[in-house]
Amino acid sequence: MATNTCKEFLNHLELWMEGERHPDAQAHLGSCTSCRNLVEDLNNIHQQARSWNLEEMNLSPRVWEALRFQLEQEGLIRSNDPSQPESSTAGWFSRWFRILPRPVMAGAYLTVLIVAAFALMKPIDKQINEARWLNGTQVSTTPLHAQLNTEQKVVYSLPNTNPVVTASLQKNMAIVDNYISLCEKSVREEPQNEVARDYLYDAYQQKADLLAQMTERGENAQ
C-alpha cells in the first residue's frame, strides 16, 4: 500500500515508532513537514521517558522546593527549623524523605510525572489533532475540487448567448476560485479553525451554484 497521505501515514505511525521502516512511510516522511515534526516530538518524549528512568530522583531543586512548599501548606510534612539551614539540597531532601510517609511520597512523585507528561503531550496531541482535521478536510474537498474543475471545463466550452452575462459569470467564478485558495491556505495554517473550514465549504457551494447557472444557460443556448 502506498503511504502517500498523512492519514495513511498515521495508520503506520505505531509500527514506525516500534522501528519498522516501510519505504512508503519513509518517502512520505521525507516530503511532509507536519508528519516529520510529529515523529520528532514522539521521539523526544520517548527519550525523555528513558532519561527519567535513568535519573530517577534527580529532578531539579526548584521542582522539589515547590513540592515541599505544597506539602507543607497541606500539613503533610513539618517545615525545617529556620535557625538550622541546610547547606545542600541532598541534605534536606534526605531528611525530608525520611520524615515523609511513603504513600505521600509516591503520590507526589506520580503527580510530578503526570504534570510533566501532560506538558509534553500537549504539543503532540495538538499536532495529531491538526493532522486529523487537515486530513478530514482534504478528504472531503479533494474529490469535490476535482469534480468541480472538470465540470468547469465542460461549462466553459458551452455556447453563450450574452457576452455580458458570460463575462459576469466568469469574473465571479474567478472571485470564488480565489476565495477557495485563501480559505484552503487558512485551513492549512489552522486545521482546527472551524470558521475557515465553514468558509471553505461555503466557497465550494458557491462554485457549484455558479457552475449550475452556467450549465443551465449554456444548455438553453444550444
Partner 1 sequence: MNAIDAMPEWMGKGNWKIASLLISGLLLCNIASAAIPPPRRLEQHFKVTAHPVITIHNPNGMVTVKAWTKSEVMIISTRASDDVEVEAEQMGNRVDVSTHATSDNVAPDDMRADYQINVPEDAELQIHDDAGEVNVANVLGDMNVETVAAGVDLEDAAGYLTVKTVDGPFQCLRCTGRIEASSISGNFRLWDLRSYHVRAQTSTGSLLFSGEFLPNGLYHLKTYSGVIEVRFSPGDSFDLSATSLKGRVNNQASLTPRTHAQHFYSRFGNSLFGTFNAGRAKVELSSFDGTINILKRE
Cell reading at 216:
443551465
What angle, 0 to 180 degrees and rounded to 10, lies between the N-to-C axes of helices 89-99 and 61-73? 40
| Nearest distance, CB of residue 162 and partner 1, angstroms | 4
Nearer to partner 1, 51 or 162 (CB): 162
Q: How many CA atoms within 13 Å lie on the side-chain side of 160?
A: 15
| Nearest distance, CB of residue 195 and partner 1, angstroms | 5
CA 113/CA 6 separation, integer angstroms: 31
Contact residue for partner 1 among 112, 144, 182, 208 (CB under 8 A): 182
| b/e burial code for range 19-31 (CB count within 10 A of at least 16 → b) | eeeeeebeebbee
DSSP string, 102-130: HHHHHHHHHHHHHHHHHHHHHHHHHHHHH
Contact residue for partner 1 among 190, 201, 208, 215 (CB under 8 A): 190
Q: Does 210 bind partner 1 (CB under 8 A)?
A: yes
Contact residue for partner 1 among 37, 80, 152, 186 (CB under 8 A): 186
Helix residue ranges, H only, 12-101: 13-17, 23-31, 33-54, 61-73, 89-99
Dihedral pair phi/psi, residue 57, rounded to 5°: -110, 10
* Residue 168 CB partners (closer than 8 Å, separation 6+): none
Q: Does 77 bind partner 1 (CB under 8 A)?
A: no
Contact residue for partner 1 among 4, 193, 208, 215 (CB under 8 A): 193
Q: Does 172 bind partner 1 (CB under 8 A)?
A: yes
Contact residue for partner 1 among 169, 191, 211, 218 (CB under 8 A): 169
Q: Does 158 bind partner 1 (CB under 8 A)?
A: no
Contact residue for partner 1 among 168, 181, 212, 219 (CB under 8 A): 168
Query: Which residues make up the interface to partner 1 (CB under 8 A)?
Result: 161-165, 168-169, 171-172, 175-176, 179, 182-183, 186, 190, 193-196, 199, 203, 206, 210, 213, 217
